[in-house]
Structures are given as C-alpha cells and as structure tokens.
Amino acid sequence: FLHRDIKPQNILVSSTGVVTLLDWGLARDISGADRVEVIEAHCGPGVIVGTPGYLSPERALPMDEVEDERSDCWSLGAVLYGLLTGVPAVDVTAAQRSIFANRRHRAAPSLIAPARLPAPALSAIALRALADDPEQRFPTVARLRQAISDVLVDLNYGYRPT
C-alpha cells in the first residue's frame, strides 16, 4: 500500500517506541486493487489530495508518472528533515502557489536550506529521500528504514533494530 498522506500528525510513537502510521484514508493498494476510483468519485479526477509540504513532486504536480513507494519515501524524508532542522522541508505557502499556479510546469517547490544541517549521516538520508527525481530516492520505505536504522546503530544511540 501507498499511504499518500504521511506527515507528523499521522505518526504516533508509543511510550515504548512503537511507531504507528495513522489515517489511511488516502491509501492506495498498489498490489492490484485500486482506490483511485473511490477518491476521484469523492474529489473529482485530477484533484490533488494530501497535505501541502508533505506531497512528493509527482503527487503535487501529477503528470503521467506512475506513483510508487518512492512517493511515500519523499514524505518520510520531509518528516525527517523537519525533525533534524526544526523547520519544514518546504515552504507551504510557496508550495501551494507553485502547485496551483504551475500545474503543467514540472518544478518541485524549493527545499528550505538551513545554515547547517545536524547529524550529517541522517541529513544525507533526508536529502536523498527528498530528491525531486524519484529515481534518486530510496526505492522502498523498507530501504529508507534500513538506512536510518544503520545510522542510529553506528551513532550508538542505544537504538536496537526490531
């Protein structure tokens, strides 16, 4: 499944560290059955659904691209970027202007560039996940998770992968 609306408000972390992804209302089954028809029936064809600032470029500016896990990787990269820097990855006001004013022009909203990114290895993961070109991102959420796990183990934060 593609979640299609990953954002901090949809991520719950328990007191024991268990992470749960909430609100699967925009999810899409990529194994065969598809909910696109259901979403289009409620919203209309070609309507952008999701949360500005956490929409991958291909979701924000839909063209003829096939949506896959790399779109959710972009959204997770935006969440990680915000955790590392304290600022959102994308200026939402500028993103909304770009999305609605330039629907036919393929240009991702610019990333906010803080003066210095903390935790270089984690920052590199976030920036790779936020690549405009899906081919440059992690191919799956599992690969993104593994990259983060590897860094946390290397940094010896007491993290133990499950």
Q: Rounded to an integer, what distance in angstroms lies between the CA atom of residue 109 and that of residue 143? A: 25
Choice among 5, 29, 132, 150 that is catalytic: 5
Q: Which of 45, 40, 11 is nearest to 26 (CA)?
A: 40
Residue 136, SS3? helix
How many C-beta neighbours within 10 Å does residue 99 have? 19
CA distance 23 to 21: 7
Q: Is 5 a catalytic residue?
A: yes
3-state secondary structure of 113: coil
The structure tokens listed for 102 are: 């330039």
Which residues are part of the catalytic machinery? 5
